[in-house]
Amino acid sequence: MLRQAKQLFRSSFLYQYYRGTQHKIDYFNWRRKNRNGSTPHLYRQHTIIEYGQRYNIQVFIETGTYLGDMVYAVSKEFDGIVSIELSENLYRKALRRFAKHKNIHIYHGDSTVVLLKVGQTLTTPALFWLDAHYSGGFSSRGETDTPVLAELNTIFDHSDFNNVILIDDARLFDGTNDYPTLHALQAFIKQKKPNYAFKVNHDIIRIVPAKDKHK
């Protein structure tokens, strides 16, 4: 009974309001501290929406659904939304949360495998938000702590569109726990996509067509 009550609450307006309020408080505190410390979720939301509008992109693809907060935040900003989750438990929770959203599609499995299948259905450029990594707690671990290089290979090798790629948690790219260093990642991008620009700002890696100078 308690479990069912929790599931019902998570799919309710009150839960969305609670999460949204918490994100706003975190963002306010971050701004008050001159943008020092952990980048708040609301800033990440704004960044995704900004890049989607700048490039007129209508498809959002996320790896690492987790609780589904990012999907919910951008649900009205894109015509089509895809999110991929490795944890079966989190996947099922996301299915329930977004059951009534026709433009949202939640997939379960290894992000590199699912990305390949999803990529084959694309007819327009997409904005990729790569956030699939093991972080303890509710998250699941695949063969590595982070599949980010394999994800990038899949995107670059199987899509001819000028996609926009944003990667969360830039601070983790230090050469440990299966993460490349930022320098190594930048070299990798230059080799795979020499016509793309690479920039890191507020814990988000931004990989975009080079004609854009990250305004």
Q: What is the DSSP string of 130-141?
A: E-----STT---
The crossing angle, in degrees rounded to 10, of helices 111-119 and 148-157 is 20
Residue 6 lies in a domain: no
Residue 30 lies in a domain: no
Encoded tokens for 8? 């019902």
Residue 163 reports pLDDT greater than 80: yes
Span 136-158, pLDDT tens digits: 555 555 567 799 999 999 999 99
The pTM is what?
A: 0.85
Q: Give the CA diameter of the chain.
A: 55
What is the structure's pLDDT at 200? Answer: 97
Span 79-96, pLDDT tens digits: 999 999 999 999 999 999
Residues belonging to the chain? 215
Q: What percent of the chain has pLDDT over 70?
A: 77
Residue 25 lies in a domain: no
Number of domains in the chain: 1
Q: What percent of the chain has pLDDT over 90?
A: 71
Residue 137: which CATH number? 3.40.50.150
Residue 78 lies in a domain: yes
Residue 156 lies in a domain: yes
Encoded tokens for 116? 């390949």
Encoded tokens for 193? 């996509």
What is the structure's pLDDT at 197? Answer: 97
What is the structure's pLDDT at 17? Answer: 61
Span 39-74, pLDDT tens digits: 888 999 999 999 999 999 999 999 999 999 999 999
Residue 14 reports pLDDT greater than 90: no
Q: Which residues pair with 197 in a beta bridge?
A: 208
Encoded tokens for 129? 């938000």
Helix (H, G, I), strand (E, B) or coil at 101: coil
Residue 180 reports pLDDT greater than 60: yes
Q: What is the DSSP string of 164-177?
A: EEEEE-GGG-BS-T
Encoded tokens for 146? 């982070």
Residue 149 lies in a domain: yes
Residue 20 lies in a domain: no
pLDDT-wise least confident of 27-31, 198-202, 209-213: 27-31
Domain span including residue 167? 49-209
The Cα-based distances of 72 to 104, 117, 180 in angstroms read 9, 23, 30
Residue 176 lies in a domain: yes
What is the structure's pLDDT at 3? Answer: 55
Span 101-129, pLDDT tens digits: 999 999 999 999 999 999 999 999 999 99
- The sign of the CA dihedral 140, 146, 149, 155 is positive
Encoded tokens for 121? 């259905």
* Mean pLDDT (whole number) for 8-34: 63
∠ CA 109-147-139, rounded to 5°? 60
